[in-house]
Structure formats: structure tokens, C-alpha cells
Amino acid sequence: MIIRQATIRDYEAAAALEQSVFQLHYENRKDFLRYRTEPLEKERFASMLEGMIYLLAEEDGIILGQAIAYKRGYKDHPVFNDMEWLEIDDISVAPEAQGKGIGKALFEAMKQTALDMGLHHIELTVWAFNEKAKGFYEKMGMRSRIDRMEIEF
């Protein structure tokens, strides 16, 4: 398996992974997410390639997973110390490839990317319903720092 930067030629594979992720989130939070038949448009994918870190896990020419992140930070903030971190937007693995270490390899690649960039830490948001993702990130050494709560009207 190789981990590599995505290119525009990877659009179809990335869109298929995104469809799987979107479906999971949509089924659990229909109150929050608008249904879309195409959750990743080619134009949006192209802009993500320019502004984000977009890694793919590939084996024998088949894309099995993706990890998407971007750099964030505080500079001269009135409350927070100056710092920069890697914000993971998504790590997803094709359903048929889960449990084979692909997610871990993608996470480790993002961790190395953050270290290479001299960043302070990694952050991400995980939906409360997604116990599987929470368990995975805890296995990777992450811990909860902030719980985001809601009340519906």
C-alpha cells in the first residue's frame, strides 16, 4: 500500500469514498445535512487539492482510503497562545477495506505531515453518533478536549 497526494485524476475514486462517508452522516443526521446526490463535485475537489492536504491510500491501483486536512492557527489572538495545528477534516476507508490498517496508515501519514510542517498538534471533529470513528481516533492516541453540545427547537 502507498500513501500519496491526490490529483485531479483521482476524482472518481475520491467521489466514491465521499459518497460512502456522506451517506453514513446523512442517515444519522438528516436534521442537519441536506441530501445531495453528488456530495463531492469535481470543482470542489479541484479546489480542495489546492488548499488542503489530500492524501490517498492506494493498493494495486485501487484507492482504498483518503485523509483530508488543512493547516489552522492562532496568531496574536487575544485569548489563545500563538500556535498552528493540522485540522483533519476526514479520514475514510472504503467499506470493503476497513479493518486492514488503512485508516491507521492514513492517520500516521497526517501525523508525519504535521510534524514535518512544524505544527503544534492535530485536531478533528467527530460526530457524537459515530462511535466507531471515536474509538479509532482514541486508538490513535487522541483524546476529547471539547464537547460540542446542542439543543433543538
- Average pLDDT rounded to a whole number, residues 132-145: 96
**Extents of the domains making up the chain:** 2-139
Position 47 scores a pLDDT of 95
Task: Return the C-alpha torsion angle 94, 128, 89, 19, nearest 10.
Answer: 40
Query: What is the value of pTM for the model shown?
Result: 0.91
In the predicted model, is pLDDT for residue 82 greater than 90?
yes
Q: What is the mean pLDDT of the chain?
A: 95
Position 37 scores a pLDDT of 84
- CATH homologous superfamily, domain 2-139: Gcn5-related N-acetyltransferase (GNAT) (3.40.630.30)
The span from the CA of 79 to the CA of 66, in Å, is 34
- Average pLDDT rounded to a whole number, residues 1-9: 97
Per-residue pLDDT reduced to its tens digit, 55-70: 999 999 999 999 999 9
Beta bridge partners of 59: 62
Q: Are 8 and 48 in contact (CB under 8 A)?
A: no
Grid cell digits, residue 39: 456530495
User: Cell numbers 444519522 correspond to what residue?
Assistant: 28
Q: Are 86 and 110 in contact (CB under 8 A)?
A: yes
Per-residue pLDDT reduced to its tens digit, 10-64: 999 999 999 989 888 989 999 988 888 888 999 999 999 998 999 999 999 999 9
User: Quick one: pLDDT band at residue 2, thresholds 50, 70, 90?
Assistant: very high
Position 152 scores a pLDDT of 87
